[in-house]
Structure 1
């Protein structure tokens, strides 16, 4: 029986970049709408429903995988990753806003994930590396590719395959490279195991190759007419592939047995179920399930509607070949059967040019769209392992090779020009000239479709169409971010040397590295963890929800006689709306230049609301402050603004009030958002004002540590970590250093249950101790107090991550 549409899963609001279907009842999908969704069905209800929406950050989620059930996770774990370079692990039995584990170490977009049956995670990134994680700890760093690693595959618990934009595939035994496979002529995008044979790979060269692990290429499958992004294997051993030509193709005995055309620009991902069903994820934001079991097919009306959607698509001429309308046959050409599945025939139907594709399974021609002129100027080009519409040669000086300027037609030319100038250390006075060059080189190119069609500017992939917004109240909405569950983004650390032995994740709070040394060998040297120099931010944003909550509170105040005087004034409403508009632009994907900057007047409006509104209704205003501090730091640079704002912020969170437990929920939330706001005040490229920082540390020290809850403690430790990062770039004066060390010791001496807060504080202490080796050494009293903590902490927190960083700090003091 042919495969036909079985289910259509709609909830994502942008491209579905990855899918995973480990069981017949579970589908995981990841999207550029910054969410991953767990779709479930049961015997009682055979329809898939969005059971859990996982929001693991504010940027694209590009990969998803599944860890099988364990005693503490009876439904297994969902593993997600994307542009924020963090790998997040969620327990599907007890899903919550924050991930259960965060694995950090990659330096750029994590674009691919795989998990072995034993739970080993393999990740690949634009940073040109793959990483292997065991028990949520980094076990191996796989370095050897020259470009982005776009595909990973766990062969078993100790062998791994990686595919790269450098056109090669590599086989690794633990961390050692044992085989390189050459053959693809473009970037490798997908890998899949073939039982009793070896493995299959797909690439941007439009081909699928089948290999033995010995390095022999057995055969090549040709049929796709554009990039092949994803590949999977059916229980029968047949191969399924998906790509830029809008198709999922089923390959049996070396031939394409069926071509499933999708009503989308790209099919980004394909997966197979144990029962033989096929799952696809597309640029239209929809997850689809196809089945060859007739009882599982969608209704006849749904199937007709699907075929109509496919036929209504407009195809770029470059996707189906050059078109000369006068040479094309008419409708009568469809009376001649095709020679193979997937064969495309173009015909004239009046003034239209139609593309039809032969469907071997149904023995019929299927209209797949109307042929129109193409967007852009031909095939996309690779540059540094990523894909672009254009890669211009820019001549700067006679006799010097031209510089490369990559550009996507969806980009703001000024942003692209600025990046080009900064990358090549050229003066910004050339900005307008480079912009004119870009505009001239792309003249006549439009995105069409009312702005729907555009090129993905982030993930190194090809063009796609954004799906329409989901209706309000849909499953893609997520929980109120003002309850203390806002997620933080932890920038990855400076890399350390690869090793097969155990060492510590430079910053995750849940991610340690493990790998036992062979019994016959002596104890290995532990690779260095310190320094970890990139600050950690709390920038997850749901601006619309925040804005809605704030003005909802304002309406409630306004319509009560007793509180009407507390409602927002017209000038405050204007300032807050401008702030929300600014944040909407800078947090969009991709970010949009707001052009109109914010000013201290916007901060004054926030301070005024702090001073008037009741404690229980301040949290959206404090959360607005958190984003402004992170995304618009220049607003606080005028003299006195940051100081006035900080004082008002502490007052709004009632920091100086009694800490008698239990604290009311609204105050707990305000304190958490206060701490996260302060965490966002640190930036990698900007020195924090020393006088202001001293006041902040002094005020923070006033709170009894045991009165803080877990998330507050983590936020406090993160502030100290960020201070230590500043100290690595701009040495702290002795007073600031002493304040920082005192607060760190307070955490290390008081914390007895939360390893996350302890670990962050330890890394902060390690940074301070390391910088002290090149400035003024720590005092004897400080080193004595620190040494006592370092001796006791590994007993309280037996995780190897704590032990490893304690060992390294001991060597510094």
Structure 2
């Protein structure tokens, strides 16, 4: 059966899902019987800064249900006891000097953290055990292999294998920042990157195969109980991979699918830039009611895809709705909408454009159901026709920004089709202002323009976390859910089996 929406968890602005957000909170979600929804069982707010990573530590004598671990903007790793009446951190682990953007734990309780300070740190019994130094840029992914070995992935495009604190291997191949790592049993591990590729490696350093299909940054990886890799990225999708092929593409009504995780029952959990955690199931009994499924599909179909994303569109040369009656493999090549690295032919995720009266629609091939799914309408960019000249270039807006009394205002140029964070970063860098103001500037832009909505893009999207760019790509409107983690209680204590996944 294909994966379909099971639940949408709205909580940011018995089994447990942990989610963390740039709204400064982490939430533990619980579910009782099969016919009951997920509910919030605890909310944690370690500081006023963003929470960018989350992990679960297995039960111990002092934490019978385990611990929730968060990392964020302040560089502190905070540990909360799950099930405790207190929502204050039981431990605060100090050592990192910048944003903690990656966390992972081992079944025996070791914790690994990665940071913008270019280091990873291994913690045991809530004390620092090792500092892993050697990357030249932010460490975006960490993965404990066993009690002594750890994998790290970095914005320096490198993956490193460590034995205790010593580097023992390097993995070359990605052309951009490495964003996620996951164990692949009987092979080694998989990595994903801003280069839009997923690579599967042996621990000895051999590249086994590539998974190609995402059209922008790939942020996160997970593994299903049956062994399939699941990925999420900046192209609005979660993808399920079988035997080296994209088996299913799950389109989301949000641009950035920041993270993905899996449950022991095979359900998939995603966290998106729209602030919603979603659960997808391949078991029909766990699907959402029919009206909710239709609403979800309609929301996908009604997305606006700006023309910059798909290139110049000549309506006269596009086929009409009759093209949707033909399977993907016999569609004329001229009708294919090509993204970078997109599969050609009858593949799940293939996209075509058609003419529907005066509208141009994008449809994606659903390989599971053997149908074309509408994924949006191609529209002109927001803000066209309102250009202002600044430094020899045209912009939709040029704002005056007062820095101090008596000084002339600084000019903040902005195009309505770009990411506010990109414009903010450009403005702060040009004027030698602290990058800590990036959120304040981006919020000012969003408030004083028509705001970048879902579907708008920039010529060059800048990841607000790494500063890396891709083209073509899509710009997120809100960096909301950036981390989720599923707690499989059955792996740790028999008592927790009282809370099964339905």
Structure 2 length normalisation: TM-score? Answer: 0.76
The CA deviation string for residues 221-245 of structure 1, in whole angstroms up to 9 with x for no partner, is 1111111111111011100000111
Map of 2:260 onto structure 1: 270
Distance, in Å, in 1 between the alignment partners of 2:312 and 2:430 is 34
Runs of 4+ in 1 over 6 A off after TM superposition: 405-408, 412-415, 450-457
Report SS of the residue matched to 1:466.
coil
Which residue number in structure 2 is paired with residue 27 of structure 1?
17
* In 2, Cα distance between equivalents of 1:301 and 1:171: 48
Question: How big is each residue's C-alpha offset from its partner over 1:404-433, in whole Å with a ceiling of 9 and x where there is no partner?
Answer: x99985259798655545479xxxxxxxxx
Written as runs of structure 1 = structure 2, the 5 A alignment for 1:511-550 is: none
SS at match of 1:72: coil
Quick one: structure 1 residues 275 and 36, their matched pair in 2 at CA, closer, same or farther if it must change by over 3 Å?
same
Instruction: Show the 5 A alignment for 1:21-420.
Output: 25-43=15-33, 46-320=36-310, 322-338=312-328, 339-373=346-380, 409-410=419-420, 417=427, 420=430
Indicate the RMSD between aligned Cα atoms, in angstroms.
3.1
Deviation at 1:449, TM superposition (A): 4.1
Provide the residue aligned with 1:459 in structure 2: 465
Per-residue displacement from partner, 1:626-666 (whole Å, max 9, x unpaired)? Answer: xxxxxxxxxxxxxxxxxxxxxxxxxxxxxxxxxxxxxxxxx
- CA deviations 1:454-508 (Å, max 9, x no partner) are 988852377322399xxxxxxxxxxxxxxxxxxxxxxxxxxxxxxxxxxxxxxxx
Other-structure match for 1:12: 12
Question: Structure 1 pair 320/276, CA: closer, same or farther in 2 (3 Å)?
Answer: farther
SS in 2 for 1:242: strand
**More strand, by proportion:** 2
* 1:682-723 C-alpha deviation (Å, 9 max, x unpaired): xxxxxxxxxxxxxxxxxxxxxxxxxxxxxxxxxxxxxxxxxx
Partner deviation per Cα, 1:424-457 (whole Å, 9 max, x = no partner): 9xxxxxxxxxx9xxx9xxxxx9744499999888
| Contact preservation (8 Å) 1:132, 1:138 | yes
State the partner residue of 1:3: 3
Runs of 5+ consecutive residues of structure 2 not aligned to the other structure: 329-345, 384-411, 435-440, 468-473, 481-502
CA distance in 2 between partners of 1:451 and 1:355 (Å): 12
1:157, 1:45 → 2: CA distance? 40
- Which of the two has greater helix per residue? 1
Question: In structure 2, how many angstroms separate the alpha carbons of the residues matched to 1:412 and 1:343?
Answer: 29
Which consecutive residues of structure 1, in runs of 5 or more, have no partner in the other structure? 14-23, 377-404, 425-434, 440-444, 469-813
Change beyond 3 A, Cα 1:333–1:37: same
Residues 188 and 201, structure 2, Cα contact 8 Å, conserved in 1: yes
- C-alpha distance in structure 1 between counterparts of 2:454 and 2:188, whole Å: 46
> Secondary structure of 1:464's partner?
coil
| Structure 2: distance between partners of 1:278 and 1:305 | 19
Q: Name the CA distance, whole Å, in 2 between partners of 1:82 and 1:334.
A: 46
Deviation at 1:346, TM superposition (A): 1.2
- SS of match in other structure, 1:306: helix
Q: Distance in 1 between matches of 2:454 and 2:425?
A: 22
The question of whether the paired residues in 1 share the 8 Å contact of 2:153 and 2:181 is answered with: yes
Cα 1:450–1:172 shift into 2, 3 Å = closer
Superposed CA offset, 1:499-525 (max 9, x none): xxxxxxxxxxxxxxxxxxxxxxxxxxx
How far is 1:324 from its partner? 3.5
Equivalent-residue separation in structure 2 for 1:58 and 1:350 (angstroms): 50
* CA shift digits 1:304-362 (9 cap, x unpaired): 01001111111234544553433321111111112011111111112222111111111
Residues 447 and 453 of structure 1 are in contact (CA less than 8 Å); yes or no, is this contact kept in structure 2?
A: no
Q: 1:261 to 1:160 in 2, by over 3 A?
A: same
Q: Does the 8 Å CA contact 1:225/1:319 hold for their aligned counterparts? A: no
The 1:452–1:368 alpha-carbon spacing in structure 2 relative to 1, beyond 3 Å, is closer
CA contact (8 A) 2:309 2:457 kept: no
Against the structure 1 CA distance between its residues 105 and 420, is the aligned structure 2 distance closer, same or farther, given a 3 Å change threshold?
farther
1:95 and 1:67 map into 2 onto residues whose CA distance is: 18
Q: Distance in 1 between matches of 2:142 and 2:28?
A: 22
Q: Which has the higher contact order (CA 8 A, sep 6+)?
A: 2
Q: Are the equivalent residues in 2 in contact too, given 1:456–1:464 (CA < 8 A)? A: no
Deviation of 1:372 (Å): 2.9
User: Is residue 306–residue 455 contact of structure 2 (8 Å, CA) maintained in 1?
Assistant: no
Distance between the aligned counterparts of 2:252 and 2:478, measured in 1?
15
Please tell me whether the aligned partners of residues 354 and 370 of structure 1 are also in contact (alpha carbons under 8 angstroms): yes
- Alpha-carbon deviations, 1:601-645, whole Å to 9, x = none? xxxxxxxxxxxxxxxxxxxxxxxxxxxxxxxxxxxxxxxxxxxxx
Distance (whole Å) between structure 1 residues aligned to residue 475 and residue 137 of structure 2? 21
Note if contact 1:151-1:188 (Cα within 8 Å) is conserved in structure 2: yes
Pair 411,191 (structure 1): closer, same or farther in 2 beyond 3 Å: closer
Cα distance, 1:96 vs structure 2: 2.2
Higher CA-based Rg: 1
- Which whole-Å CA distance do the structure 2 matches of 1:198 and 1:464 have between them? 32
Aligned to 2:343: none
Q: Distance in 2 between matches of 1:406 and 1:215?
A: 46
Q: Within 5 A, what are the aligned runs for 1:412-451? A: 417=427, 420-422=430-432, 447-449=451-453
Does the CA contact (< 8 Å) of 1:453 and 1:466 recur in 2? no
Instruction: Give the SS at the match of 1:465.
Output: coil
Distance in 2 of aligned mates of 1:183 and 1:107: 29
CA distance in 1, matches of 2:423, 2:367: 46
CA spacing shift, 1:418–1:257, aligned 2, 3 Å: closer
| Conserved 8 A contact 1:52-1:95 | no
The equivalent of 1:400 in structure 2 is none
Aligned 1:759-770 pairs, distance under 5 A:
none
TM-score (normalizing by structure 1): 0.48
Distance verdict in 2 for CA 1:265–1:197, change over 3 Å = same
